[in-house]
Amino acid sequence: MITLETIQQLFNECLPVAIAYSPLKSWAVQPTIIKLDTHKSNYGQALSNGDILINPAFLGTTAHNKLKATILHELAHLIVGLEKGHNIDFRYVETILCEGLNVDEMEKQAVKDNNGFKLRLLAFGEKNIFDLGGAFRRTKRYTTYGAQGNNRRMSLKGEKLIKFEYVPYSNPLPEGTVTELTF
């Protein structure tokens, strides 16, 4: 099971991997500390002061490879610079740092299930239903989508979205729901 000590230990293992790729003095942001995040919306987050924040939903799971991939992902942000977002430079560095690391869907799901989400947001397209993940509350952006006077139209993976629906997180997904949304 992942504990605070496990998070620190994996950070101590990942940092030399990142430094071997790029000497610390050439990093855009110097790493400072790894700690738990107070928000639960991302797996992790890198800050401009060098802190790396980890979602507390990792605690108590066995998602070691997902945690390691998250730490390496955040270190890649520090190497290339936070302003680069997930551009091609970032993706190149992340790919090198995570080479050979396999994260299965069960690990990702274990962290999501441990996050305490009450709701799940589903997007209904013309052909598919997309699982957009967990949510702690409903937001107006999705509850009023398609309402009269709301001419905003969204698409996902090239498919026009018709409506959004919040369902209890623990409910089974409708058959055929698209869960992997890589771009």
Report the 10 Å Cβ neighbour count for 55.
Answer: 21
pLDDT of residue 18: 97
Distances (CA, A) of 115 to 79, 152, 167: 28, 30, 16
Res. 54: pLDDT tops 90: yes
**How would DSSP label each residue in 119-161?**
EEEEEEESS-EEEEEEESS--HHHHTTT-TT-----EETTEEE
Quote the pLDDT of residue 151: 61
Query: Can you give the pLDDT at residue 32?
Result: 96
Mean pLDDT of the region 43-47:
96
Contacts with 129 (C-beta within 8 Å, 6 or more apart), sequence order:
122, 123, 173, 174, 176, 177, 178
Q: What is the distance between the alpha carbons of residues 25 and 28, in angstroms, rounded to a whole number?
A: 8
Determine the pLDDT at residue 183. 46
List pLDDT tens digits, range 84-122: 999 999 999 999 999 999 999 899 889 988 988 899 999
DSSP code for 20: H
pLDDT of 7 above 50? yes
Q: Cα separations (Å) of 174 from 114, 125, 152?
A: 21, 13, 26
Higher pLDDT: 103 or 180? It is 103
Asked if residue 150 has pLDDT above 70, the reply is no
**Mean pLDDT over each residue of the chain, to the nearest integer:** 91
Sheet holding 52-54, edge to edge: 34-36, 52-54, 44-46
Integer angstrom CA distances of residue 90 from 28, 41, 42, 76: 12, 21, 17, 6
Nearest CA-CA partner of 181 in 82, 112, 115:
112
Mean pLDDT of 109-138: 90
